[in-house]
Amino acid sequence: MPAVLGNSPYGGRTYANGTVPADIPGTPGYPAGSSRLGIPIWDGMAVGVFLDLNVSVSRSQNSTVWGPGSNVRCSGPYFVSWQAPYGVGRGAVQPTQIATPSNLSDVGEASTISTGGHSFVFANGFISANHPPISTCGTSGVSEDVTAPGFIIWAPIPLNSSNPTVPIPLPFEVDFHYLFPANFGTWQIDDLSAPGGPGGGWAFSYSPCP
């Protein structure tokens, strides 16, 4: 699963930092404290930091006890637990390049990658603009800070004769710092954390100044 996924605007730079809670095994801070996983990305590149974990998802049920009082409902319909498949210290995968430098657009960006003998599936590319564009044509450079909530994974849950998938929000937070160079162009922006998005920062489509 992704802990950090980031795109860099063509010609610009991105600094992406993910905060991973202490209870995620295999990460640098486990089990004493949270971890910060940071990556620099530049000139149209896309980079990810992935966690190789076994994830168990179980349905939660309300419990009833004898005696006075009201039944207390579970905080959520599903319970998620994590385990590092190779022991403590082996859950974090090194930063992996998803797209090479000099990409004008994140349209068609790879959505799968294999590393360490495992394949990861994610959505980090540009689909359509859902955020005001940023233009530096005839102006100075622009700096933008973005904080994104955790990503969402979809887990199959055996239920009767069907196996529906349910959204499981990951307890991560990612901060992005984007730098757009002066008098360079216009970037259309797909905010991946917009309603209905997969979670994450921004994806870009670039056009030069007229």
pLDDT in tens, the chain (210 residues): 778 889 999 999 999 988 887 777 767 777 777 777 889 999 999 998 887 777 777 777 666 666 766 666 666 667 777 777 655 555 556 788 999 999 999 999 999 887 667 777 888 999 999 999 999 999 999 999 999 876 777 777 766 666 677 777 777 788 999 999 999 999 999 999 888 777 789 999 999 999
Main-chain dihedrals φ then ψ at residue 165, nearest 5 degrees? -100, 145
In angstroms, the Cα distances linking 68 to 61, 65, 71, 73 are 20, 9, 9, 16
Q: How many domains does the chain have?
A: 1
Tell me if 15 is assigned to some domain. Answer: yes
Q: Is residue 60 in a domain?
A: no
Per the structure, the complete domain to which residue 202 belongs is given by: 2-52+90-208
The pTM of this model reads 0.81
Neighbouring C-beta atoms of residue 48, cutoff 10 Å: 25
Contacts by 114-118 with C-beta closer than 8 Å and gap 24+? Answer: 115/50, 116/52, 118/52
Q: Is 74 within the bounds of a domain?
A: no
Q: Is residue 178 assigned to a domain?
A: yes
Inside any domain, residue 73: no
Residue 62 belongs to some domain of the structure: no
Cis omega (within 30 of 0) for bond into 31: yes
Between CA 53 and CA 85 the distance in angstroms is 6
Contact criterion met (CB below 8 Å) for 70 and 115 = no
- Nearest by Cα to 10 from 152, 184, 127: 184
Residue 177 in domain? yes
Does any domain span residue 179? yes
